[in-house]
Amino acid sequence: MVTHTGGCHCGRIRFRVEAPARLEVADCNCSICSMSGYLHLIVPAERFTLVSGGDCLSTYTFNTGVAKHLFCATCGVKSFYVPRSHPEGISVNARCLDQGTVESLTVTPFDGREWERSRESLSAPHG
């Protein structure tokens, strides 16, 4: 485990996350993730610390409303959020991690469009 840091584009939102140096992330093809190119790194909530920018977060919900899509009100970047599949955890956008601590990134496609069916066989992201 290493401590990765990251945040949004304008820098108002900053966070720390405990995760392996070799990351396995999920590339979801659902309606919102495919538009934004979001890469999911799912961690238990206790391994995630929001360092700054909590007051800059806006929330977008759709469909079931369970997933809280949090984005920076200033720059619009979604650097982390609470996924529907793991409401007790955090999905960090691997694209928003700082350089330097990530040794490798293994990207696995996830069929979020068929999430209700696929969740029986896969542990994966999305909301």
The residues binding Zn ion (CB under 5 A) are: 8, 10, 12, 72, 74-75
- Residue pointed to by tokens 């990251």: 6
Nearer to Zn ion by Cβ, of 74 and 118: the residue is: 74
Shortest CB 12 distance to Zn ion, Å? 5
Nearer to Zn ion by Cβ, of 78 and 126: the residue is: 78
Shortest CB 7 distance to Zn ion, Å? 8
Shortest CB 14 distance to Zn ion, Å? 10
Shortest CB 87 distance to Zn ion, Å? 24
Q: Is 96 helix (H, G, I), strand (E, B) or coil?
A: helix
Nearer to Zn ion by Cβ, of 28 and 72: the residue is: 72
